[in-house]
Amino acid sequence: MDTEVLIVGAGPVGLTLAYDIGRRGIRCILIEQNEAPQFLPKMERCNARSMEIFRRLGLVDKIRTAGLRSDVPMDVFIILAMNEPPLLSQHYPSVDQARAAIRASNDGRQPLEPYQLISQYTLEPLLKAECETLPSVSVRYGREFVSFEQDATGVTAQVRNGGAIETIRAAYMVGCDGGGSAVRKQLGIKLRGEGNLLELRQALFRSDELFDRIPIGNGPGHGRHYHVADDRATFLIMQDSTRHWTLHAVVERDDDMKTLFERTVAIPVRYEMLSCAPWRMNLLLAESYGEGRVFLAGDAVHLVVPTGGLGMNTGVGDAIDLSWKLAATLQGWGGPNLLRSYQIERRQVGERNVGASRYASLGRRKWRAQYRPEMRDDTPVGEAVRDNLVRVAKAEQPKSNEMIGAELGYRYVDSPIICDIPGGPEHLFREYRPTTWPGARLPHVWLDDGTSVQDRIPDGYTILRVGGTKAGSGRLHRAMQSYGAPVTTLDIPDAAARDLYQYDIILLRPDMHIVWRGNRLPVNVRTIAATATGHEVSIT
């Protein structure tokens, strides 16, 4: 083998996968057809769950330093133009404000980390640099994936390096190569759903003075999104530097984007258009997340409308789910159900998040459908049209910006490595209700010494003993060790944790999802250990 894992595609998903699997000591090669990270606008926000993940990877402070400064609000405006009073202002806190709210709350409803606005063209070079610090990771740009063959022991990929074709042999391969994934296409896996919903252009502008001169709102008018009420779906987004802005709109020519930018800003500013390209809205999900020793992650298996911010963030979840399972399998202690569970777990999340994105985009389309040219008139008719659009937008636009349930509340159902039980809480898009139901993410809680329970939890499996319980957990610990799995028993005597979690003993996976909970161990704890490590389906 040239490497243990070959990763195709160095976007945020491929880079996150490479970093997490590399820090676990697994050798991987990451290939990317571009010669270097591209300065092109794509995603622009890591949500709360992604930031919790990056915290566990030790990268959260670097990402915040590179991203939007922490005092800038994330407000959303619906406008006719930036030099006029907004039709609707919706306040969303800055990172500083969100941190204060998180620190003041201990009911489990808050994440440990707030979101972070960071542009993909900022995040990718950061993650690339971190991957390059790991001796187990080889990052190779300027390498184009051509084809592969797989057999019972590995995958052999053909890769173009300039004018030459080189061969890379790996135990496993992961396609993180985007919506047009060549890996997915060779597997013959199709995307299903709603394609080509709308074609827009996206332009990247630089204006060093616009951020400080926005006249709308209660003061400087700083915010994250500026939706223009028009018939072109015009949408201006502030990027992390506050000097760069992306504009989306339905126009015929690239030059039309300059005209529309000037019309939207509506005050004289110096600017330049750095790039412009068409893109299509899609709501698509792959029929399968891989085959044999080849897996798919990120946009290769789910394409969503940007509304709701669930694209890249869902892909980061894919990467973290897959990385520890690949590591466990390659290290010899993971059973066959670990890798089999990847599709079962992550495809249901992909399906739910495509649905959440549809829900958000329908909300935006609903208020945009209220636009009439008369709304720009200073007449009773114009006022009535404006009032109607605002009324609808107040109810519908928050669907695009309030997705905390989809971010934190996803729960793995019918997974072969979860001791699942029938029923379970409802999956909600906009509301998060903390739960320790098997399959859920462990809710964040502050402990008596001011630390977060997440920061106490090490890598590997963790047996939490909560609230000073006297119930024994040694048999479960020994059962986990019998499979060779890394496991730690951790006592959390704090009353706040016991009040929130409602159970004395909780078994966590390496990704902090709950395998099993109870007030005392059952007679056959080996069933729990076998299930958790992928060796046996739980019988409940």
Please state which of the ranges 39-43, 397-401, 434-438 shows the lowest mean pLDDT: 39-43
pLDDT of residue 217: 53
- CA separation for the pair 458, 467 (Å, rounded): 19
**Portion of the chain with pLDDT greater than 70, in percent:** 99
Residue with tokens 């258009």: 273
Closest CA to 411 of 388, 392, 434: 434
- CA separation for the pair 434, 190 (Å, rounded): 35
Angle between helices 336-368 and 380-396 (to 10 degrees): 170
**Portion of the chain with pLDDT greater than 90, in percent:** 95
Answer yes or no: are the C-beta atoms of 241 and 231 closer than 8 Å.
no
DSSP string, 19-33: HHHHHTT--EEEEES
The whole-number average pLDDT for the span 300-323 is 95
pLDDT of residue 537: 57
Residue with tokens 């110096």: 270
The conformational region for residue 292 under phi > 0 = left, psi -120 to 50 = alpha, else beta, is left
pLDDT tens digit sequence for 483-540: 999 999 999 999 999 999 999 999 999 999 999 999 999 999 999 999 999 997 544 4
- CA separation for the pair 118, 207 (Å, rounded): 18
pTM: 0.96
pLDDT of residue 263: 96
Structure tokens at 146: 């051509």
pLDDT of residue 219: 57
Would you say residue 174 has pLDDT above 50? yes
Question: SS3 sequence, 172-213?
Answer: EEEECCCCCCHHHHHHCCCEEEEEEEEEEEEEEEECCCCCCC
DSSP string, 320-363: HHHHHHHHHHHHT---HHHHHHHHHHHHHHHHHHHHHHHHHHHH
Give the type of residue at 328. A
Instruction: Write down the mean pLDDT value for the chain.
Output: 96
pLDDT of residue 540: 45
pLDDT of residue 43: 87
- CA separation for the pair 101, 453 (Å, rounded): 17
118-142: b (≥16 Cβ within 10 Å) or e: bbbbbbbbbbbebbeebebbbbeee
pLDDT tens digit sequence for 256-291: 999 999 999 999 999 999 999 999 999 999 999 999
pLDDT of residue 308: 83
Fold of 411-532: Glutaredoxin (3.40.30)
- CA separation for the pair 358, 101 (Å, rounded): 29
Say if 3-68+112-192+283-358 and 411-532 have the same CATH topology: no
Fold of 3-68+112-192+283-358: FAD/NAD(P)-binding domain (3.50.50)
- CA separation for the pair 81, 263 (Å, rounded): 7
pLDDT band of 309, cuts 50, 70, 90:
confident
Query: CA torsion sign, 342 to 348 to 354 to 357?
Result: negative
Q: How many helices (DSSP H) and strands (DSSP E) are in the chain?
A: 16, 20
Closest CA to 201 of 270, 263, 253, 132: 253
Which residue ranges make up each domain of the chain? 3-68+112-192+283-358, 363-404, 411-532
Would you say residue 390 has pLDDT above 50? yes
Residue with tokens 């616009």: 210
pLDDT of residue 186: 98
Which residues lie below 8 Å from residue 404, measured CB to CB, with a gap of 6+?
48, 111, 430, 431, 432
